[in-house]
Amino acid sequence: MLFTRKSAIPLVALFAAKAQAWGTTIHNQIAFMAESFLTPQTTEVIKHILEPEYEGSIGRAGAWADAYAHTDEGEYSSTWHYIDSADTPPAFCNVYYNRDCTKGGCIVSAIANATVKFGSCVDAVKAGKLKGGSDVECSMALKFLAHFIGDITQPLHTSGVAIGGNAYPVVFGGEETELHSVWDDLILMADAKADKDFSNKTIDPYFSDLLSRTRKDTFFSPTHEWLACSDPSTPVACALAWARDSNAWTCDYVFSQIFNGTDLLESGYASGAFPIVRLQVSKGALRLGTWLNRIVEDWYKKDREVILQTNPSWVDGPMEGK
């Protein structure tokens, strides 16, 4: 049985306790991959926006938003890591911004807001008014982008089913866990044959290989499709398009099988998911690098998008509804 938002488990509590879309160091690795797509101008601007401790690297800052959401100061941002779509897999999966974005904000609105803020910070750097990471809010905007553009590619952060998979118990590698954790890192760690976390200082070989494949365009989905929406002047539209792209896997694969207590590592479920996680991680990296470049290059026209007011309305409304 699939849980709905009528489940007694509050999503915020579950998120704070467990959910970190992609494992912590996987976020670092996605951002390290993205660095290889940055232009020299973007790289220089980032050096002035990030605090000195990150040494100008979005890779080193890629996991910051997860840690921040688990602090008292940053608790307000916990709902920004996902969007609560009203899926009924395998029959119907989709994301609607005005219905599914919670009143506290969601990953779509978070990307949009951070994009606007980062754009103003880029202007400040170009005007010589911002240097050395002296504006904390600017650094936060960039760190949110580095994290959320990776987050939005994880299918269970774009689905409300079973509280994003947190309330869906499964077995993986002989251990009891839940489906969210399986998609956060267990599938990818198994694919990489990794027995420990990836580096938070530099790119690891598994991700270097994904980077090479991205450059050669050898995935089953061509890279030009990943960037079909990549105009920072329409950040809600693009973030929503990315969420829908990721959410499609909820019907197509994530909940495509009846598990019945089978071990997902041994049943073929994990191996079937390997190409999906490789693809999704690579999408996040290319989109992040492209997005930052286009903001820095002033490629887009500001204030072009109409922002709709959200009106959560399904199953008593996600996160208390109205």
> In this structure, what CATH number is given to the domain that contains residue 157?
1.10.575.10
How large is the angle between the packed helices 136-151 and 24-35, nearest 10 degrees? 100
Structure-block tokens of residue 292? 């930052």
Nearest CA among 37, 33, 27 for reference residue 297: 37
Give pLDDT, residue 2: 33
115 in any annotated domain: yes
Nearest CA among 108, 138, 116 for reference residue 46: 138
Give pLDDT, residue 22: 80
Give pLDDT, residue 93: 95
- In 126-272, the DSSP E strands lie at 169-172, 175-178
Name the residue range of residue 232's domain. 11-320
State the amino acid at position 297 in one-letter form: E
CB contact at 8 A, 281 and 32: no
Q: Under 8 Å CB-to-CB from 158, ≥6 apart: which residues? A: 82, 83, 85, 95, 107, 152, 243, 244, 246, 247, 250
Using CA atoms, how far apart are residues 218 and 258, in angstroms rounded to an integer? 31
Using CA atoms, how far apart are residues 29 and 202, in angstroms rounded to an integer? 8
92 in any annotated domain: yes
Q: Under 8 Å CB-to-CB from 77, ≥6 apart: which residues? A: 65, 68, 69, 105, 110, 144
5 in any annotated domain: no
CB contact at 8 A, 172 and 270: yes
- In 56-152, the DSSP E strands lie at none
Q: What is the mean pLDDT of the chain?
A: 89
Using CA atoms, how far apart are residues 136 and 142, in angstroms rounded to an integer? 10
- Residue ranges of the chain with pLDDT lower than 70? 1-21, 299-322
Domain count along the chain: 1
For the chain, what is the largest distance between any 2 Cα atoms, rounded to a whole number of angstroms? 60
